[in-house]
A and B are shown apart, each in its own frame.
Chain A
Amino acid sequence: MESCARVAARLPEYVADELTRGTEGRLAGHLTECADCRKKASGHLRVLDALRTLPQVAPPADLRSAVMQRILADPLPSRGRSSRGRLRIVRTLLWTTPLMLLGGVGGAGAALVFGKAWDRPGVLDPTLLPDWIENLGKLAFSFLLDVATRAEIPFLPSTPSTSIPWQGLALLVAFALAVLGAAGLGLLMTARVLASAADR
Chain B
Amino acid sequence: MTEHFSPAPTGREVASPPSARPAPGSRPGSPSDEALVCRVLAGEVHCYEELIARYERPIVNFIYRMIGDYEQSLDLAQEVFYKAYRSLTRFDPSYRFSTWIYRIASNRSIDFLRRQSPVLISLDDPGDGERGGEGTIQLRSPTQGPEDLLAARELGHRIAQAIDALPPFYRELILLRHSHDLAYEEIARLKNLPLGTVKNRLFRAREILRKRLEA
Contact = CB atoms under 8 A, between A and B. Distances in A.
Interface of A: 9, 12, 40, 43-44, 46-60, 63-64, 66-68, 70-72, 75-76, 78-80, 83
A76 B138 CA distance: 40
B213 A64 contact: no
Interface in B59-102: 60-61, 64-65, 70, 73-74, 77-78, 81-82, 85-86, 88-89
11 contacts: A43-B210, A47-B213, A52-B178, A53-B18, A54-B18, A58-B8, A64-B49, A76-B85, A78-B41, A78-B42, A79-B89
Interface stretch (B9-17, B22-30, B115-123, B188-196): B9-17
Given A12-B202, A75-B45, A80-B41, A55 B13 contact: yes
Interface string B173-215: 0100011000000000000000000000011001001110110
B159 A50 contact: yes
Given A43-B213, A80-B42, A63 B78 contact: yes
B18 A46 contact: no
Interface of A (DSSP majority class) = helix
B52 A56 contact: no
B16 A56 contact: yes
Nearest to B8: A57
Contact of A12 (B64, B179, B206): B206
B36 interface: no
A53 B45 contact: no
A54 B163 contact: yes
A116 to B, nearest CB: 57
A63 B49 CA distance: 11
